[in-house]
Amino acid sequence: MGQIRSELCIQAASALEYAGFSLGHRPHNPMTVKTRFAPSPTGYLHVGGARTALFSWLHARRHGGKFVLRIEDTDRERSTDESVNAILEGMTWLGLEYDEGPIYQTHRFERYNTVIGELMAKGLAYRCDCSRERLDGIREEQMARKAKPRYDGHCRGREVGSDAPHVIRFRNPDEGGVVVDDRVRGKVAYDNAELDDLIIRRTDGSPTYNLTVVVDDLDMGITDVIRGDDHLNNTPRQINILRALGAEPPRYAHVPMILGDDGSRLSKRHGAVSVMQYREQGILPEALLNYLVRLGWSYGDQEIFSLDELTQLFDIKDVNKAASSFNTDKLLWLNQHYIKEDDPKRIARLLSPLLGDLDIDPTQGPDLVEVVKAQQERAKTLVEMAEISAFVYKDFDEFEPKAAKKHLRPVAAEALQQVREALAIVSDWSPAALHDTVERVAELMDVKMGKVAQPLRVAVVGRAASPGIDVTLYLVGREACLRRIDRALEYIAARAGDQV
């Protein structure tokens, strides 16, 4: 145990600089805003956490302050390196850069123990050796008489030795109350009589959450604590610990949580909850960020925000109090918007690996940037763009049944035959010339353009939907076009044969 601890401390060179700060006063200029995002590494970075991080980041940027990333890994049972990496990866992808950190709480155990020692010395904390059985017993009894389950203070006046196994509890004030002045909730009052003596150090010597948060926020000079509202009820306890340490509490802002589309708490069964899953699904980070910021926050009727704009406009006070439901449709709409507006070169760069997943090498064929320009208004995600663009680079396996049934009929054979001949000899393989070619065939046959373009499209694309027929032909290229038209003609012939 001691060995592990010293090992951690050696790794913690950067974190140790905080250990020197004394309590009771802020080490930083109180006017300088400093926020933090403090996830526990017990899973992936989910959208709720990402939104909290975004709010904290924006608040810091808006006020020219600092943003800190702190990893709350004091629960060694559940914390994993894998989760830490997932969180860091998610933050990087979203572009939420932190000015300090990541700081690991497991590197700061010496510091927490020092603080616990101070509280013990002042009589504000005490040892407790109550057995789990006893605790369970009083808990059961309290529940039975419909009271709030809480520690009864059994060890408050007892002298519990330091040799036998024990925990350390914070001595919560009996009298008075605590008012949390929250920037989104307003003033919330609690009676100290409702609070019990919480454990601040476990039997194994490790500190607990409510203690480490307080110590870290204090040591790091955090001025604004922005976190999920599941922490609102912990806040009075934390303020009491802060008071016991003779410190002023930071400003709090408890933001509501995000629910699934059905209004229940967001969980895996709602589909994607991890931000990296959104990347895999072809969502752009700016789209996710834009979506997330509008969940619980607004600026008049504006829907589209760049990060720069948000840095100017975001105010934590404007965040709503009520929880909101995640709506994938709106995220997709935003994503389509950003795909449409973004630089085709950037989209092409992001799209390339997704084509690779479909066994396509986009360097073997037309410039991917041209393909992106043709598809930009037609895809809600990058994954979808890859799927609807595959036909440019490789022959499709089979015609989409509905499209073939409607357009690859015997009556279409002549149009296809005609257009094939025209395409075989067109000298300038450019969208403009190809457009003229298709149009001329329609005129010659005295039919509407659709009568030619649709069978042609299904022949070349395999589906009834694609970019303009001119651009479609242009991107596919003459050789592949003629080959696929022949294949469509065979298909029609075979079908006609079946029907006889």
Does 134 sit near RNA (CB under 7 A)? no
Identified binder of RNA from the candidate list 340, 346, 402, 409, rule CB under 7 A: 340
Residue range at the interface with RNA (CB under 7 A); choices 8-16, 154-162, 196-204, 277-285: 196-204
Interface positions, 361-380, toward RNA (CB under 7 A):
377-378
Nearer to RNA, 378 or 440 (CB): 378
Catalytic residues: 268
Interface positions, 436-495, toward RNA (CB under 7 A):
448-450, 453-454, 457, 464-470
x-or-dash string of contact with RNA, 175-194, rule CB under 7 A? ----------xx-xxxx--x
Identified binder of RNA from the candidate list 25, 156, 158, 265, rule CB under 7 A: 265
Q: In this structure, what token pair is assigned to residue 93?
A: 């992808």
Identified binder of RNA from the candidate list 333, 396, 429, 491, rule CB under 7 A: 333
Identified binder of RNA from the candidate list 18, 109, 209, 338, rule CB under 7 A: 209
- Give the helix/strand (H/E) hosting 102: strand 100-104
Q: How many residues bind RNA (CB under 7 A)?
A: 90
CB of 329 to RNA, least distance (A): 4
Determine the Cα–Cα distance for residues 459 and 452; give it in Å rounded to an integer. Answer: 11
Nearer to RNA, 32 or 127 (CB): 127
Interface positions, 381-440, toward RNA (CB under 7 A):
435
Identified binder of RNA from the candidate list 122, 330, 402, 405, rule CB under 7 A: 330
Does 296 sit near RNA (CB under 7 A)? yes
Does 199 sit near RNA (CB under 7 A)? yes
Identified binder of RNA from the candidate list 89, 110, 303, 436, rule CB under 7 A: 303
CB of 88 to RNA, least distance (A): 16
Interface positions, 25-54, toward RNA (CB under 7 A):
38-40, 42
Interface positions, 233-262, toward RNA (CB under 7 A):
233-234, 257, 259, 261
Does 143 sit near RNA (CB under 7 A)? yes
> Is the CB of residue 74 less than 8 Å from the CB of residue 41?
no
Interface positions, 66-85, toward RNA (CB under 7 A):
72, 74-75, 78
Interface positions, 212-231, toward RNA (CB under 7 A):
229-231
